[in-house]
């Protein structure tokens, strides 16, 4: 077993090595060129998988520079999932510490947004909470707690990531043109209400409300109070209706005990 582990470790180290002529000790000189071909094919596959996962990042930096970023990312990995479908975990963090941040400080947040889109698109299916399912529970709403839908994520950024993403991905396949982008912080809610990924910018108050509910486990009443502290202009009813409409909540409810209803 030790010899087998040494073989795999050496093979893996040679694949990740920044030296183009790196060859595992288990490969004889006469087969070094075959390993080089295999290594190049593996790297090309990883580069392409990363580009498919982060197409907007690729558009922003160009194909050539993206391949350089991909090469650095591949060499930096210590672990890797066996499937390429969700390849690229940690790419946003890699970009955040890369010198490219000096020129494109928003690039890592664009990567976080694209990662959220990818994970939301492949998340488990679950029934979203609909407004009509709350009928008859009006007296319990204030004390009720809610869970985020599994196909729902929030990405907060100091930069206008939603506007930048939209500028690079115009609707109806139109060509990318010059777009005026207001420099401001944006928080984006990513959901998949009807088997299609959707994004929308939410306000500071809405972000505070959603986080208080789904991350901190506060009741609806407490979450509303928290949101109003964060944003005095927070519209409770309109915001709650928006979250319900876009399928941000899981249909499984936590209804307070002692009200004649069982937990759904």
Are residue 199 and residue 168 in the same domain, yes or no?
yes
Are residue 90 and residue 162 in the same domain, yes or no?
no
Q: Is 111 inside any structural domain? A: no
Instruction: Decide if 136 contacts 257 (C-beta within 8 A).
Output: no
Residue 1 has pLDDT above 90, yes or no: no
Q: Single out the residue of 75, 99, 79 nearest to residue 89, CA to CA.
A: 79
Are residue 197 and residue 130 in the same domain, yes or no?
yes
Q: Whole-angstrom Cα distance, residue 200 to residue 78?
A: 34
Are residue 211 and residue 264 in the same domain, yes or no?
yes
- What pLDDT is stored for residue 6 in this prediction? 64
Are residue 128 and residue 184 in the same domain, yes or no?
yes
Q: Is 55 inside any structural domain? A: yes
Structure-model confidence comparison of residues 39 and 152, the more confident one: 152
70-113 pLDDT tens trace? 999 988 887 777 678 889 999 999 999 999 999 999 999 999 99
160-173 pLDDT tens trace? 999 999 999 987 65
Secondary structure letter of residue 145 according to DSSP? B
Which residue is listed with tokens 């208080």? 212
Instruction: Decide if 222 contacts 236 (C-beta within 8 A).
Output: no
Residue 129 has pLDDT above 80, yes or no: yes
Sheet holding 186-191, edge to edge: 152-157, 186-191, 198-202
> How many Cα atoms occupy the beta-carbon half-sphere of 64 within 13 Å?
0
Tokens of 55: 């197409």
Q: Is 118 inside any structural domain? A: no
Domain span at residue 77 reads 1-104
- What pLDDT is stored for residue 178 in this prediction? 65
Instruction: Please state, rounded to an integer, the average pLDDT across all residues of the chain.
Output: 86
Identify the band that residue 251 occupies on the pLDDT scale cut at 50, 70 and 90.
confident
Are residue 52 and residue 158 in the same domain, yes or no?
no
**Domain count of the chain?**
2
192-219 pLDDT tens trace? 987 889 999 999 999 999 999 999 999 9
């Amino acid at each position: 077993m030790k010899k087998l582990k040494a073989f795999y470790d050496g093979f893996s180290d040679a694949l990740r090595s920044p030296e183009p002529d790196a060859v595992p000790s288990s490969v004889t000189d006469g087969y070094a060129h075959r390993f080089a071909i295999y290594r190049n094919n593996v790297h090309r596959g990883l580069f392409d998988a990363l580009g498919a996962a982060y197409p907007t990042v690729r558009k922003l930096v160009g194909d050539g520079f993206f391949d350089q970023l991909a090469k650095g990312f591949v060499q930096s990995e210590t672990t890797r999932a066996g499937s390429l479908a969700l390849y690229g975990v940690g790419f946003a963090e890699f970009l955040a510490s890369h010198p490219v941040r000096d020129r494109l400080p928003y690039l890592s947040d664009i990567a976080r947004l694209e990662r959220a889109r990818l994970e939301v698109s492949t998340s488990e299916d679950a029934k979203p909470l609909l407004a009509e399912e709350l009928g008859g529970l009006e007296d319990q709403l204030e004390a009720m707690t809610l869970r985020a839908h599994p196909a729902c994520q929030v990405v907060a950024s100091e930069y206008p990531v939603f506007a930048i993403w939209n500028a690079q991905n115009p609707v109806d396949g139109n060509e990318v043109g010059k777009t005026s982008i207001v420099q401001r912080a944006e928080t984006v809610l990513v959901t998949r209400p009807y088997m299609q990924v959707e994004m929308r910018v939410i306000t500071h108050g809405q972000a505070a409300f959603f986080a208080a509910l789904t991350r901190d486990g506060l009741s609806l009443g407490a979450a509303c109070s928290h949101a109003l502290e964060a944003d005095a202009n927070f519209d409770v009813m309109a915001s709650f209706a928006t979250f319900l409409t876009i399928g941000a909540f899981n249909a499984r409810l936590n209804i307070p005990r002692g009200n004649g209803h069982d937990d759904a």
